[in-house]
Amino acid sequence: MEIIDDNIYIGNVETKELAENYGTPIYVYEEDTIRKNYRKAFKAFSKYYSNFRFFYAIKACNNLAIANILRQEGAGIDAASVNEILAAKKIGLGGEDVMFSGNFLSDADIKAGLDSGVIFNLDDISLLPRVLKQGKPEILSFRINPGYGRSNVGEFVTNAGPNAKFGLHPDQVLDAYKQAKEAGITRFGAHMMPGSCIIDPEYFAFITELLMDIIGKAGQELKINFEFIDLGGGLGIPYSDEEEELDIDEAAKRVANTFSKKVEEYNLASPRLMMEPARYFVGNAGYLIGKVHSIKNAYKKIIGTDIGMNTLARPAMYGSYHHIFVDGKESEKREKVGLCGQLCENTDFWVKDRELPASIAEGDLVVVENAGAYGYAMSYQYNGRLRPAEVLVKDKEHWLIRKREGFKEMILGVSVPEHLDKK
Ligand SMILES: Cc1ncc(COP(=O)(O)O)c(C=O)c1O
């Protein structure tokens, strides 16, 4: 994004042009930024540990155009559900290019996962006999909760530690791999996903050490090789001015040093090091453009836009911060105002107090930054306010990559029993 003479450009396209072409609200992604983010991270990790691969956690932004960019860059897919496995298939990725990391799976999920032939990553030891009842995965991994996690929004997305719903307790790990080995499984991996949006390089080395000590011991005792060890996602991006950028080179160096040391200590046969980030690739590549529809001056001044908690759930869900720009007015005098969407919920009043240009008026365009990850993917229909469109930008070109929902989509799949259709 660039601001030239107060006008906001995404890629090399004026925000006004995007809003005129596609309406508002719209999610807009910069292709070049996604590629740049991926390459920066891949260069760092592969420099310090050559047998390295990223899988993209498609949950963060499941548009197939975006997933294809990351596939072209070399990423596999981390799938949280059967439908995400199908999304991976749709872009030509399957087998060991996809890892299925669902949790609390149904028997139907297990069957579909086995049929798809992707890597199975089990979130609990109790799943193993249920999987084995239906088939034997070619390669099996367990998601381990190493007892510690962290996030930038407190417990909301802290995915490990005693309060998290994810992963095996360290004390269950030996037994889990033992049972799998006894069942005739010969190829193994290991996985964790302890934290979210971390900008401290040392954190990544710390959790690597935690995981490696747990699985190193199990590997030695059971004489199994881990073909891959996946450290999850969690590579952070700064959302506010107070947050710094993650020093990705430093994080990669520390992780790779710890990883290599532990591989040697536990005599592991050179496993592939894997990570499955999402936010780091797509977070700052995505913007949400909305329009100011009305301004209220009652108890306080509130700017009413078409961006609500249904379009961008994170602020209402986690209290997370997103910077907001106003097209054409960025250099103007500011005042503290509130900003909200159009839903009949007060949690939709998602900005309570923010310095925005004092001249903000009906018809102005607002641009929300860092909306590429967990933005559209978490949007929903409520109050008949439907999901926005998605647009991809590359330099001066732009393409609609998902059309805006309309009434047809709102009632899609709905049927009314005959007796209710009569007078
Ligand atoms: C299992 C798993 N892997 C990877 C990710 C991606 O995390 P991030 O966007 O923080 O990199 C998530 C996010 O929730 C996840 O649940």
Cα separation, 294 vs 73, whole angstroms: 43
For residue 7, give the H/E element and its range: strand 7-10
For residues 11 and 121, state if they share a domain. Answer: no
Digit-coded pLDDT (tens) for 247-285: 999 999 999 999 999 999 999 998 999 999 999 999 999
Residues 39-43: what's their mean pLDDT? 98
Phi and psi of 243, rounded to 5°? -90, 145
Residues 89-105: what's their mean pLDDT? 97
Cα separation, 197 vs 201, whole angstroms: 11
Digit-coded pLDDT (tens) for 314-359: 999 999 999 999 999 999 999 999 999 999 999 999 999 999 999 9
Asked if residue 415 is part of any domain, the answer here is no
For residues 154 and 220, state if they share a domain. Answer: yes
Atom number of ligand 1 nearest to Cα 78: 3
Asked if residue 420 is part of any domain, the answer here is no
Q: 198 falls in which pLDDT band (50, 70, 90)?
A: very high
Residue among 143, 98, 141, 91 at smallest CA distance from 116: 98
For residues 56 and 161, state if they share a domain. Answer: yes
Boundary residue ending a domain (249, 266, 282): 282
State CA 379 to chain mean position distance.
13
For residues 365 and 250, state if they share a domain. Answer: no
For residues 206 and 305, state if they share a domain. Answer: no
CA distance to 317, 348, 353, 354, 373, per residue, from 284 (Å): 19, 23, 23, 21, 8
For residues 248 and 310, state if they share a domain. Answer: no
Boundary residue ending a domain (237, 267, 282): 282
Inform me whether the pLDDT recorded for 157 exceeds 80: no
What's at 320, amino acid-wise?
Answer: S
Asked if residue 152 is part of any domain, the answer here is yes
Are the C-beta atoms of residues 338 and 352 closer than 8 Å to each other? yes
Asked if residue 279 has its Cβ within 6 Å of ligand 1, the reply is yes
Asked if residue 417 is part of any domain, the answer here is no
Residue span of the structural domain in which 365 resides: 2-29+285-410
Digit-coded pLDDT (tens) for 51-61: 999 999 999 99
For residues 250 and 175, state if they share a domain. Answer: yes
For residues 228 and 375, state if they share a domain. Answer: no
pLDDT for residue 150: 87
Inform me whether the pLDDT recorded for 156 exceeds 80: no
Boundary residue ending a domain (282, 311, 331): 282
Asked if residue 372 has its Cβ within 6 Å of ligand 1, the reply is no
Asked if residue 9 is part of any domain, the answer here is yes
State CA 294 to chain mean position distance.
32
- Among protein residues, the one with the nearest Cα to ligand 1's atom 1 is 193
pLDDT for residue 155: 79
Asked if residue 57 has its Cβ within 6 Å of ligand 1, the reply is yes
Number of domains making up the chain: 2
Q: 86 falls in which pLDDT band (50, 70, 90)?
A: very high
Residues 287-295: what's their mean pLDDT? 98
